[in-house]
A and B are shown apart, each in its own frame.
Chain A
Amino acid sequence: MTSTLTPLPARERPARRGRAVRLGPVSMPLRPRLIAAGALTTAVLAVLVALNLSVGDVFVPPDRVWANVIGTTYDDYFTIWRVRMPRVVVGMLAGAALAAAGAITQTIMRNPLASPDLLGVTHGASAGVVAIMAFGGSYGIISGPLAQVGVPAVALAGGLAAGALCYGLAWRGGIDGFRLLLVGVGVSTVLMNVTLWMLTLGEVTDSGRAMVWIAGSLSMRTWPDALPVALALAVLLPLALASARTLDVLSYGDDVVRGLGVRLELARTAMLVLAVLLAAFGTAAAGPILFVSLACPQIALRLARTPRPPVLLSALVGAALTCAADLVARTLFDGVQLPVGIVTGCLGALYLIYLLVRGNRKVQA
């Protein structure tokens, strides 16, 4: 074989690559680099969580944070367990859900710029929340504590409805990824304008609260905010991991997928539903935290050098990025808290531009 590549001795390679990890009847391909990247990301995430718990208006030294976490002291119980911990946990879970949704979306769309933001989910959630915040209070339909409980539910409903709408509009005896994206952009634009219109109609104070939500904020998050997204991740993430090989195949051309014995429409729809659910739950917990779903899968892809964005690693990266962004958002300007979505938006955009400018490897899904 004439080649400019320098092949290693033939026999070594298949032995080195393609080894399997076995656990009873369960076996998976062994990807050492993926495992290493996962360990690294987990370590970074742990450091970020610790920093998030200790830094703030009141500085709690790391040893006291730890003592509070394991329950040997209750000195800073309120700061750690009531204020900072829920915020960190909601941020991590929301970031993980959004990033996992992004990894799935980018894979099945075969497009690195595809994200749940473009499937209507984010804007649908925003429109729902703004509707309830801008009109709910003033018109007395939903007010006070009911509005608080209602926000995540409405965000979820809005996100899912918009996702379903996009899917329905894009259906032509099958789903074409590109058409779905275009429909998603259209639906998102309409929803965004509806949202802006509702903001102008509502009371100024209500609109103000709604604006904070739209920007994606983790402030004032409490434990009940974490529960739905935690449950969603507990159910959906294992499903996504069990479908890993389907996702592997779905990143190929349609005829290749069919030829490999995959029921294309069924598989793609199921994966899309998974992504939309993850994104909707993530958005419902913390508002639309921009760019997490777009950038994290691409970061994970580069860390692990896998053929497609790995779902679990993307989720870890999403959690870490959101934690980092929230740390910056809380502490960058003394006394002024930025919504975390602003920071992730800036960080994510910068990272993406960096990737495109560096351009030694094409962005890929």
Chain B
Amino acid sequence: MTIHEHLGRVVRDPAPTAPVRLRARDLTLGYDDRVVVQGMDADIVEGTITCVIGPNGCGKSTMLRALGRLMKPRSGLVELDGRDIHRVPTRAVAEVLGVLPQQPTAPDGLTVADLVARGRHPSQRWYRQWSGDDQDAVARALEQTGLLDLADAPLSELSGGQRQRAWISMVLAQGTDLLLLDEPTTFLDLVHQVDVLDLVRELHQQGGRTVVMVLHDLNLAARYADTIITMREGRVVASGPPADVLTPVLLREAFGLEAVVVEDPVTGGPMVVPVGRSTG
């Protein structure tokens, strides 16, 4: 049973014929004795951008970590191209799936090129620690994110937006067609948020990459996503195209938010205008 049937809410699939790259089946996740995500199902369809939204602590990031094989599920499983992701060798996963964790940390004193070079790790071997291919991939990744000029700049001297671009470059240098980004826009001002998301869309449109990202801003999610997965308390509340998911009823249910949904004057899609916290 898919979540669609389960919830009976989704009208259309964004790409009905495209294969499912990542699938979560009855996924239960937790840390120590705390269950964070319970019995979750989700399909990530090839060539789409999926945004995961939900209130703080609803298990969005945890779910993304499980999809990226950063943690083991309590029960249920994640399938990558139809195979249990935990039965695929770690390195093989890293060759098709790139993850950018929330607030990733790197040692101090790195240059942008040092950081991006790290993305080549999965395709390197102990005897082939650096090659022409690596160099090309790093240069290409930096070019795509517009950071080529800053290759030798220390990471610590970049602005927040540039640093986020550097991290995205690292994941790009990995050369995967699946990208999982956990809140790529945190701590960025609106200009840089749009900047990073435009970059993600470009990567999606030009490279045909499949992207899953956790976002906080509902309107940005509406604008950039093909599919939105809304979560609340470790469960999926709704999943589908932005217009179907971002409705006043669902927003009240998922966020406890009283909101009016109007037409986005730029895209014609849904735009959420909050009224205030719902009393019910």
A interface residues with partner B (beta carbon < 8 Å): 1, 3-5, 7-8, 10, 13-14, 17-20, 22, 25-30, 110, 242-245, 248-249, 251-253, 255-256, 258-263, 307-308, 361-362, 364-365
> Per-residue 0/1 for B145-186: is the Cβ within 8 Å of any A Cβ (1 yes, 0 no)?
011111111000101001000000001001000000000000
B83 touches A (CB below 8 Å): no
Given known A13-B148, A26-B128, contact A249–B118 (CB-CB < 8 A): yes
Please tell me if the beta carbons of A27 and B130 are within 8 angstroms of each other in the complex: yes
**Measured between C-beta atoms, what is the minimum distance from A5 to chain B in Å?**
5
Q: How far is the CA of A260 from the CA of B106 in the complex (A)?
A: 13
B56 touches A (CB below 8 Å): no
Among A10, A29, A261, A365, residue most surrounded by chain B Cβ atoms (within 10 Å): A261
Instruction: State which of B89-97, B223-231, B257-265 sits at the interface with chain A.
Output: B89-97
List 11 interface pairs A-B (beta carbons < 8 Å), by A numbering.
A1-B149, A5-B153, A14-B148, A27-B127, A27-B131, A245-B129, A253-B101, A258-B68, A258-B99, A262-B90, A263-B90
Given B70, B111, B129, B149, which contacts A259 in the complex, CB threshold below 8 Å? B70
Q: How far is the CA of A22 from the CA of B127 in the complex (A)?
A: 10
Q: How far is the CA of A1 from the CA of B147 in the complex (A)?
A: 8
Please tell me if the beta carbons of A256 and B105 are within 8 angstroms of each other in the complex: yes
Given known A253-B104, A255-B101, A361-B109, contact A3–B150 (CB-CB < 8 A): yes
A17: chain B residues at CB < 8 Å are 113, 151-152
Please tell me if the beta carbons of B106 and A20 are within 8 angstroms of each other in the complex: no
Q: How far is the CA of A216 from the CA of B124 in the complex (A)?
A: 41
Given known A20-B135, A110-B107, A259-B70, contact A28–B129 (CB-CB < 8 A): yes
**Measured between C-beta atoms, what is the minimum distance from A239 to chain B in Å?**
10
Please tell me if the beta carbons of B70 and A18 are within 8 angstroms of each other in the complex: no
Q: A28-B129, A110-B105 are in contact. List 6 more A-B contacts (CB 8 A).
A: A7-B150, A13-B148, A249-B121, A260-B122, A364-B109, A365-B107
Please tell me if the beta carbons of B106 and A259 are within 8 angstroms of each other in the complex: no
B148: chain A residues at CB < 8 Å are 10, 13-14
Given known A245-B126, A245-B129, contact A256–B109 (CB-CB < 8 A): no
Given B90, B101, B104, B118, which contacts A248 in the complex, CB threshold below 8 Å? B118
A251: chain B residues at CB < 8 Å are 106-107
Please tell me if the beta carbons of A256 and B104 are within 8 angstroms of each other in the complex: yes
* Pairs A-B, 7 closest by C-beta atoms: A261-B94, A255-B101, A7-B149, A253-B105, A259-B99, A29-B130, A14-B139
Closest to B180 in A: A259
Given known A249-B118, A255-B104, A263-B90, contact A10–B174 (CB-CB < 8 A): no
Please tell me if the beta carbons of B113 and A18 are within 8 angstroms of each other in the complex: yes
Please tell me if the beta carbons of A14 and B138 are within 8 angstroms of each other in the complex: yes
B132 touches A (CB below 8 Å): yes
Please tell me if the beta carbons of A14 and B109 are within 8 angstroms of each other in the complex: no
Please tell me if the beta carbons of B94 and A260 are within 8 angstroms of each other in the complex: yes
